[in-house]
Chain A
Amino acid sequence: MKKVILIFLVTLIGFMDFSCEKVITIKEKPYQDQLSIECLLVPGQVPKLFLNKSVAYFSSKTSSADLFITDATVKISSGNETDILKPSSERNPFLCQEEFFYLGKIPAVFGKTYKLEVVYQGTTYTAETTINQSKPKLNTVDYTQKFNDVYGEHEGIILNFNDTQNEENNYRFQMIRQVDSTVRTANNKVYRTECNGANKFTINEVGRSVYNDQNKNGLPMSFVIEPAYTHTNGQVAKVYLQTMDSKSAAFFDALDRQKLATYNPFVEPVFLKSQIAGCIGVFGSLNISEPIEFIFPE
């Protein structure tokens, strides 16, 4: 009997293999690519519109150059004034790659209504927005070493401000700072900054979460955001508060929840509802506060 037990155990331990995860290949379903439009008008800034083609989810086409649509006609007009946007690009120094978009020439004006018209391969896509979010005012910016959200425990930047009265507002964080090639994403894994050598460069980070002012009309508000990139002690940054229209907020809120759901199998998936008929995307507006200088604590 003892022999039987011994043979049994020895044999079966050989079968055991505790690795629990493996990368799998998904057999993709046929996918019809779609047009993606993303444009938020900002008072005082020229329009910048991202126009891309969507691709099958596991497609090897990943770079901005692969996906950017160059042969569309893009117009933004208000009253008799029409701005024809042209393909342009700028360097993303963090990823060391070019990013492509359409750029206009006429700065957007608060209070005006704008119409978007994109013509691509014979189809016209239209949308409209009015810039009616007042410029928000950021009171103070604080720092906390620890705060908790669904992603765990992090450091955080706290934005304190008063909600603008009698307006629906949807707030978002923005921070611009000068960094060098030692910077990493917050999870400390991803970087490709060597192309910058010893030169400093600017990174612009925008918060993923959008905070609605429901039941807060005119009252003090605050929220905490985890910085997207690493920092050094004493590093100086400019922090802004953005506010956007409700349609754009719905889009970016869905995008935020979708991101969580896509990577977390315990969260119900989020299907994006486009704000522009016939394609994926959003055409809206936002207004940005004056910055407050923030220094990462020593």
Chain B
Amino acid sequence: MKHSIKIIFILAIISLSVSAQNYTLSGYIKDAKSGEAVIGSSIFLTNTKSGTSANTYGFYSVTFKASDTLGVVFSSLGYQPQIKKLSGRQNQSLNIDLLENSSNLQEVVVKASRNDDNVQKTQMGVIDVPMKLANSLPVVLGERDIMKIIQLLPGVQAGNEGTTGFYVRGGNSDQNLVQLDEATVYNPNHLFGLFSTFNSNALNRVTLIKGGFPAQYGGRLSSVLDITMKEGNNKKVAVQGGIGLISSNITVEGPIKKEKGSFIISGRRTYIDLLAKPFVKGIGYTFYDLNAKINYQITPKDKLFLSGFYGNDNANYTGASSLNYGINFGNSTATLRWNHLFNQKLFANTSFIINNYHLGLSTIQSGYVAQLYSSIKDINAKTDFEFYPNQNHNVRFGVNFSTHTFAPFSASIKIPKSGKVPKFNPDSLAIKTIINELAFYFNDEIKLSSNISLNAGLRVPYFYTKDISYKYLEPRISTKINLNQETSLKLSYTVMNQFLHLIPNSTASLPTDIWIPASKATAPQQSKQISLGIFKNFKENTYKTSFEVYYKDMKNQALFKEGTLLTQVSVIENNLTFGKGYSYGAELFIEKNSGKFNGWLAYTLSWTNQTFKDLNFGKEFPFAYDRRHNLSIVGNYDLSKHWMLSGAFVFNTGRPYTLPVGRVDVGNGGTLYNGTYADYTERNNYRLNSFHRLDVSAIYKKTRQLFHKSYESEWVFSVYNLYSRRNPYFVYLSTDEITKTPVATQVSLLPAVPSVSYNFKF
């Protein structure tokens, strides 16, 4: 470990010291129509055939050797590239506004721009979700959902049908860090996981990182889902919205002061409660979410962003005998960010983040009211620096401090004779556990030669509570070798630690997941991952392909002990057992992002196994979401000026589950045991039937007039599970008490679900 740190620093110092007569070009790249940052856009220097890309705020900085003229191409997918000829003998600041493509220009545009980040960037295991395509894909009940798109990417396994949970490279769902404007969202789902909490109209960019993690990310083992909200249109006021079968949404954005600051506010609410009321008695359900963001350019070098998110679900059930259940859960986040440009080469962002997750379950029954409550409040302060010393280095370093306050609470009291149900104040009653995380990191993307580059970093997380502390070194190394202009080979090695466990309720998709921090009894989760990939583009980057193989080793994995029933658990730690796991596999990704027909094919072949001393007689067994084959085919076709067709087909090997293999007659008190008991020999020894589904949608777009003003409208017709495949949700057993014959019954969730929705944009 010490040697690798030394090597990283020596390389960095040697490389940084090499600087001839260099100049720097820097600036921001924005969308010409809205002023939104075009995150990740490419800056390519034609002189040196090298380049860089814009950061999360659209900022770029590139240093070049002195020359008479400098050719620069600014490009991004879905935008017309801009080619600039500049003086090559001075430092320059240049802001670029990129114009969106019209569809018929796309083929030309792709050829003109490089659009080959997948091959040229050192980082691997990264997928930028194409938002445009994501918005046209069919989803349940017409609700566009970015989390459903994530499930269609290579290396990502979906959970049960109807859920938005995802499992990356054999990791559990808690091993995914979901961040919205840097704030952690602990539960990104609405009830039953049918929809995520993210309103796609308010999102600018969604990036999934599943391997080769840069050092600025930490705290989770398997993936980072980095979601950036839009900043808001700083040119004009714009309104867009949608009316669906069960919910509607609206987004308003506009300038606070033209070109200086803007705002965006976006809300969504379901009316399923109102629709169901006449037909279903005793059940109530609502969800809503709200996103808001403002930004303001204080000086040319300083910009402030304030963003917030609030999502909440409320459900209740009133049954016979005055039985009453209630669930209330939600996330709220607030992020204040300050961008400061020290100079052309040094960019800094300082963030102050508060986020809150709560889950409340209440029961009123037989004269008693019971409440189970769990919440996590995080306060997080961080500073990240980006330093671009010369054309061979892109350095990032920073520090991150966060406190997590866990407040589990449960109580049960008798309802007084007055009948007034007492209210609890869990926040004041809960016994709080406070944990702290401090992390430093340093990361340098080093260009060693024209064909070889290295991304080397180190993260040092330190976890402490009043009882215990843990500190680790997490080396992160990725390297890229260009085999030719269109092909590269990449290798990465990462070590990750995670100080939180989500106690998995693997089969059910109810929001009863409970987070617990690392402690003396619960060691932090750890992983080491190595991955190797070849990246190749064809037909001038029209087709992008990648083939990656990986091996991931995981320690301190948590599962419930045998026979644990979540509703009966009072002290969770006492019902957990710890073990280890490993996953390996191969992922193929073929993507076409432009032209009338675009889409992707993703195929994953993988194996994930776990070993727990207290489970399966200590023998290895398949992970609950181990799926041998996972195929997604996603397509989008512009049929005409008005009509667009989309489809998504998924096929997964059924997930493993446990069935007894033998049956024994019970002698004593047999009737109570249905006459038999079971002989289990192996955990997860059977597999559910294969899962496959085809979703289709047709979108009709038209520009219409309202009060002499034109607006864009679209009707979206979609069918989820077109051929109504009975995909397995779970299998349960029963026994005929007389014949003692066991029966297996498969439960499926969603048949063909048609939907229609209407969207508009002023």
Judge if B547 is at the interface, Cβ distance under 8 Å.
Answer: no
Mark contacts of A148-160 with chain B using CB atoms, 8 A cut-off: 1 yes-contact digit, 0 otherwise.
1010010000000
Assess whether A261 is in contact with B748, with CB atoms less than 8 Å apart.
no
**Minimum distance in angstroms from A171 CB to a CB of chain B:** 14
Judge if A28 is at the interface, Cβ distance under 8 Å.
Answer: yes
With A36-B665, A261-B563 as contacts: A12 and B739 at CB distance below 8 Å: no
B563 contact from A29, A68, A189, A258, Cβ within 8 A: A258
Assess whether A57 is in contact with B563, with CB atoms less than 8 Å apart.
no
Assess whether B739 is in contact with A18, with CB atoms less than 8 Å apart.
no
User: Which residues 26-67 of A have a CB within 8 angstroms of B?
Assistant: 26, 28-29, 31, 33-34, 36, 38, 40, 48, 50, 52, 54-60, 62-64, 67
Judge if B658 is at the interface, Cβ distance under 8 Å.
Answer: yes
Assess whether B664 is in contact with A280, with CB atoms less than 8 Å apart.
yes
Assess whether A258 is in contact with B678, with CB atoms less than 8 Å apart.
yes
**Minimum distance in angstroms from A169 CB to a CB of chain B:** 18
With A16-B724, A21-B746, A271-B616 as contacts: A266 and B566 at CB distance below 8 Å: yes
State in angstroms the CA–CA spacing of A95 and B680 once bound together. 27
Assess whether B562 is in contact with A271, with CB atoms less than 8 Å apart.
yes
Q: Which residues of B contact A266 (CB under 8 A)?
A: 505, 507-508, 565-566
Judge if B94 is at the interface, Cβ distance under 8 Å.
Answer: no
With A29-B685, A57-B659 as contacts: A20 and B562 at CB distance below 8 Å: no
Judge if A269 is at the interface, Cβ distance under 8 Å.
Answer: yes
State in angstroms the CA–CA spacing of A272 and B653 once bound together. 29
User: Which residues 159-201 of A have a CB within 8 angstroms of B?
Assistant: 185, 189-190, 192
**Minimum distance in angstroms from B420 CB to a CB of chain A:** 22
Q: Please, which residue of chain A has its CB at the minimum distance from the CB of B678?
A: A262
**Minimum distance in angstroms from A149 CB to a CB of chain B:** 9
Judge if B674 is at the interface, Cβ distance under 8 Å.
Answer: yes
Judge if A292 is at the interface, Cβ distance under 8 Å.
Answer: no
Judge if B589 is at the interface, Cβ distance under 8 Å.
Answer: no
Most buried by A among B365, B562, B745: B562
Assess whether B562 is in contact with A268, with CB atoms less than 8 Å apart.
yes
A56 contact from B564, B661, B715, Cβ within 8 A: B661
Judge if A205 is at the interface, Cβ distance under 8 Å.
Answer: yes
Q: Which residues of A contact B670 (CB under 8 A)?
A: 99
Assess whether B563 is in contact with A257, with CB atoms less than 8 Å apart.
yes
Q: Which residues of A contact B330 (CB under 8 A)?
A: none
B672 contact from A38, A189, A208, A268, Cβ within 8 A: A208
Q: Which residues of B contact A229 (CB under 8 A)?
A: 671
State in angstroms the CA–CA spacing of A23 and B744 once bound together. 6
Judge if A3 is at the interface, Cβ distance under 8 Å.
Answer: no
**Minimum distance in angstroms from A64 CB to a CB of chain B:** 6
Among the 9-residue stretches B64-72, B78-86, B278-286, B749-757, the one with 4 or more Cβ atoms under 8 Å from chain A is: B749-757
Assess whether B663 is in contact with A101, with CB atoms less than 8 Å apart.
no
Most buried by A among B365, B559, B665, B669: B665
Among the 9-residue stretches B173-181, B526-534, B726-734, the one with 4 or more Cβ atoms under 8 Å from chain A is: B726-734
A94 contact from B657, B664, B671, B730, Cβ within 8 A: B671
**Minimum distance in angstroms from A188 CB to a CB of chain B:** 12
Q: Please, which residue of chain A has its CB at the minimum distance from the CB of B719?
A: A12
**Minimum distance in angstroms from B624 CB to a CB of chain A:** 10
Q: Which residues of A contact B723 (CB under 8 A)?
A: 15
Q: Which residues of A contact B428 (CB under 8 A)?
A: none
Q: Which residues of B contact A99 (CB under 8 A)?
A: 667, 670
State in angstroms the CA–CA spacing of A109 and B326 once bound together. 55
A-B pair count, CB < 8 Å, reads 214
Most buried by A among B660, B667, B678, B683: B667
Most buried by B among A23, A36, A68, A269: A269
Q: Which residues of A contact B738 (CB under 8 A)?
A: 95, 190, 192
**Minimum distance in angstroms from A93 CB to a CB of chain B:** 12
Assess whether B724 is in contact with A55, with CB atoms less than 8 Å apart.
no
Assess whether B321 is in contact with A270, with CB atoms less than 8 Å apart.
no
State in angstroms the CA–CA spacing of A265 and B508 once bound together. 8
Judge if A112 is at the interface, Cβ distance under 8 Å.
Answer: no
State in angstroms the CA–CA spacing of A25 and B672 once bound together. 26
Q: Which residues of B contact A18 (CB under 8 A)?
A: 751
State in angstroms the CA–CA spacing of A267 and B658 once bound together. 11
Q: Please, which residue of chain A has its CB at the minimum distance from the CB of B363?
A: A148
Q: Please, which residue of chain A has its CB at the minimum distance from the CB of B662?
A: A54
State in angstroms the CA–CA spacing of A192 and B671 once bound together. 12
**Minimum distance in angstroms from A230 CB to a CB of chain B:** 12
Assess whether A15 is in contact with B722, with CB atoms less than 8 Å apart.
yes
Q: Which residues of B contact A63 (CB under 8 A)?
A: 740
Assess whether B739 is in contact with A57, with CB atoms less than 8 Å apart.
no
Judge if A22 is at the interface, Cβ distance under 8 Å.
Answer: yes
Judge if A236 is at the interface, Cβ distance under 8 Å.
Answer: no
Judge if A298 is at the interface, Cβ distance under 8 Å.
Answer: no
Q: Which residues of B contact A94 (CB under 8 A)?
A: 671
State in angstroms the CA–CA spacing of A12 and B722 once bound together. 8
A261 contact from B562, B666, B740, Cβ within 8 A: B562
Judge if A264 is at the interface, Cβ distance under 8 Å.
Answer: yes
State in angstroms the CA–CA spacing of A255 and B739 once bound together. 20
B662 contact from A1, A55, A190, A267, Cβ within 8 A: A55
Assess whether A23 is in contact with B745, with CB atoms less than 8 Å apart.
yes
Judge if B673 is at the interface, Cβ distance under 8 Å.
Answer: yes
With A23-B743, A52-B664, A57-B663 as contacts: A269 and B671 at CB distance below 8 Å: no
Q: Which residues of A contact B726 (CB under 8 A)?
A: 22
Assess whether A265 is in contact with B507, with CB atoms less than 8 Å apart.
yes
User: Which residues 59-114 of A have a CB within 8 angstroms of B?
Assistant: 59-60, 62-64, 67-68, 94-95, 99, 101
Assess whether B562 is in contact with A269, with CB atoms less than 8 Å apart.
yes
Judge if B102 is at the interface, Cβ distance under 8 Å.
Answer: no
Q: Which residues of B contact A22 (CB under 8 A)?
A: 726, 745-746, 748
Judge if B747 is at the interface, Cβ distance under 8 Å.
Answer: yes
State in angstroms the CA–CA spacing of A48 and B669 once bound together. 13
Q: Which residues of B contact A258 (CB under 8 A)?
A: 563, 677-678, 680
Assess whether B740 is in contact with A57, with CB atoms less than 8 Å apart.
no
Judge if B366 is at the interface, Cβ distance under 8 Å.
Answer: yes
State in angstroms the CA–CA spacing of A62 and B664 once bound together. 9
State in angstroms the CA–CA spacing of A167 and B659 once bound together. 38
Assess whether B665 is in contact with A52, with CB atoms less than 8 Å apart.
yes
**Minimum distance in angstroms from B160 CB to a CB of chain A:** 11
**Minimum distance in angstroms from B116 CB to a CB of chain A:** 40
Q: Which residues of A contact B743 (CB under 8 A)?
A: 23
State in angstroms the CA–CA spacing of A192 and B739 once bound together. 10
State in angstroms the CA–CA spacing of A25 and B744 once bound together. 7
Q: Which residues of B contact A60 (CB under 8 A)?
A: 741
Assess whether B617 is in contact with A271, with CB atoms less than 8 Å apart.
yes
Q: Please, which residue of chain A has its CB at the minimum distance from the CB of B577?
A: A268
State in angstroms the CA–CA spacing of A24 and B747 once bound together. 10
Q: Which residues of B contact A260 (CB under 8 A)?
A: 563, 565
**Minimum distance in angstroms from A98 CB to a CB of chain B:** 13
State in angstroms the CA–CA spacing of A13 and B755 once bound together. 10
State in angstroms the CA–CA spacing of A86 and B98 once bound together. 92
Interchain residue pairs with CB less than 8 A apart (10): A4-B700, A26-B744, A29-B661, A62-B675, A68-B665, A185-B671, A255-B673, A261-B563, A263-B733, A268-B561
- A18-B751, A206-B672 given. 5 additional CB < 8 A pairs? A54-B664, A146-B366, A148-B365, A206-B668, A268-B562
What residues of chain B have their CB less than 8 Å away from a CB belonging to chain A? 321, 323, 365-366, 505, 507-508, 559-568, 615-617, 657-675, 677-681, 683, 685-686, 689, 700, 715, 717, 719, 722-724, 726, 730-734, 737-749, 751-754, 756
8 nearest interchain CB pairs? A50-B667, A206-B669, A257-B563, A12-B754, A62-B740, A15-B752, A190-B737, A270-B563
What residues of chain A have their CB less than 8 Å away from a CB belonging to chain B? 1, 4-5, 8-9, 12-13, 15-18, 20-26, 28-29, 31, 33-34, 36, 38, 40, 48, 50, 52, 54-60, 62-64, 67-68, 94-95, 99, 101, 146, 148, 150, 153, 185, 189-190, 192, 204-208, 228-229, 254-255, 257-272, 280
